Amino acid sequence: MFDQIFKHNIIDLLPEVRGKYKKNEPMKKHTWFGVGGPAEVMFIPEDKEDLSNFIRKRPQNLPLYVIGGGSNLLVRDGGIPGIVIKLDSPQFKQYKIEGNSITCGGGMKNIDLQKIMINNKIGGLEFLSSIPGSIGGSVRTNAGCYGKEVKDVIIKAEIINDEGEIKEVPVEDLMLSYRNSYFPEDWIITAITFKVYPDSPEHILSIINEQKNKRQKSQPHNVRTAGSTFKNPEGLKAWELIKKSGCDKLKVGGAEVSDKHCNFLINTGTASAQDIEDLGESIRARVKEATAITLEWEIKRIGINKRDADE
């Protein structure tokens, strides 16, 4: 079976933890696209101390990957060798409000901010609550919409580095920019502190509903997609370049360009990760040929493809 690709038991090499190890964990259960091969091992730490202990004691030659809500992620069909870390325990989904700030665990879903803001009468994060995914992933990519980005509201980040040290990093050291940040790949975001302000539940809800209506009118929903596929080149719109290049109706296998927004790729139900990636690369090639502009992937792609896994 393809989902049993990883035969050896690397769990025997891993340190004792209070969290959970899952061998050959199907990644299609953890991504919005619903595709991809298994993680050799998925580690769900109990809390940040458990994660710190794992990082310090792990075998240094094993690759590590950290995933959030899986909304901006394409896992290739060959799966992910090594360890996939997911901050999915309750300790990483808690929050604390102090004055005009809120600290959220890195594993919290962005959408959970909606109820938190309304119940606690604090505003300022409505835009973030409408973006699919988790708090940690949104900060790493400096997610944004409706004229605001994470860099506009973040105060500091709590991280665990590759030596297992738990540290706080102020916003000025993160160098957040369009859909990017300074976070080194080996930093794991365990919590983020944001600026907020007092507001009425009625006003907060009105902003949330306004943004929800805009999103539903202009973007696909209730389908398997991963959000915007390509970053907007400076001063340009990726969707306009895609449409101008005649790519708005392209299909590869079970993957197709959304008819509602052509910078979104859709898994119609039968797509493989290879279908989706091939469709994206075909779009990039056609846009480059038609406009001389190279689109940059916004969706993160990880793992190995099936052809490599079968060899």
Q: Clarify whether 71 is annotated catalytic.
A: no
User: Can you give the pLDDT at residue 5?
Assistant: 52
Q: Clarify whether 284 is annotated catalytic.
A: no
| CA distances from residue 155 to 55, 104, 143, 148 in whole angstroms, order as listed | 26, 12, 15, 15
From CA 38, how far away is CA 49, in angstroms rounded?
26
Q: What is the dihedral of CA 261, 263, 269, 270, to 10 degrees?
A: 140
Identify the structural domains of the chain with CATH numbers, from first to last: 2-86 (3.30.43.10), 93-217 (3.30.465.10), 232-295 (3.90.78.10)
User: Can you give the pLDDT at residue 216?
Assistant: 86
Question: Going by C-beta distance under 8 Å and a sequence separation of 6 or more, which residues neighbour residue 184?
Answer: 161
Q: Clarify whether 149 is annotated catalytic.
A: no
Out of 52, 71, 228, 272, the active site residue is: 228
Contact, 126 vs 208, CB < 8 A? Answer: yes
Out of 46, 49, 179, 258, the active site residue is: 179
User: Can you give the pLDDT at residue 307?
Assistant: 65
Out of 40, 149, 256, 298, the active site residue is: 298
From CA 276, how far away is CA 73, in angstroms rounded?
11
Backbone angles phi, psi at 260, to 5 degrees: -95, -30
From CA 215, how far away is CA 251, in angstroms rounded?
24
Contact, 86 vs 44, CB < 8 A? Answer: yes
User: Can you give the pLDDT at residue 3?
Assistant: 44
User: Can you give the pLDDT at residue 310?
Assistant: 55
User: Can you give the pLDDT at residue 143?
Assistant: 81
Backbone angles phi, psi at 118, to 5 degrees: -65, -45
Could you state, in chain order, the average pLDDT of each consecutive group of 10 residues for the chain (311 residues)?
57 96 96 96 98 96 92 96 97 97 97 97 95 87 83 94 95 73 83 97 96 88 92 95 96 97 97 98 98 96 78 52
Query: What confidence tens digit (pLDDT) does each residue in 215-265 have?
Result: 888 889 889 999 899 999 999 999 999 999 999 999 999 999 999 999 999
User: Can you give the pLDDT at residue 147?
Assistant: 83
User: Can you give the pLDDT at residue 309?
Assistant: 53
Q: What is the 3-state secondary structure (H, E, C) of 32-63?
A: CCCCCCEEEEEEECCCHHHHHHHHHHCCCCCC
Sign of CA dihedral 154, 160, 161, 166: positive
Cβ neighbourhood burial of 263 (10 Å; 0-12, 13-18, 19+): buried
User: Can you give the pLDDT at residue 139?
Assistant: 82
From CA 103, how far away is CA 112, in angstroms rounded?
13
Task: Tell me how crowded residue 79 is: count the other CB atoms within 10 A of its CB.
Answer: 27
User: pTM for this one?
Assistant: 0.90
Helix 201-218 / helix 112-120 crossing angle, nearest 10 deg: 160
User: Can you give the pLDDT at residue 178?
Assistant: 63
Rg (CA), the chain: 20
From CA 20, how far away is CA 271, in angstroms rounded?
30
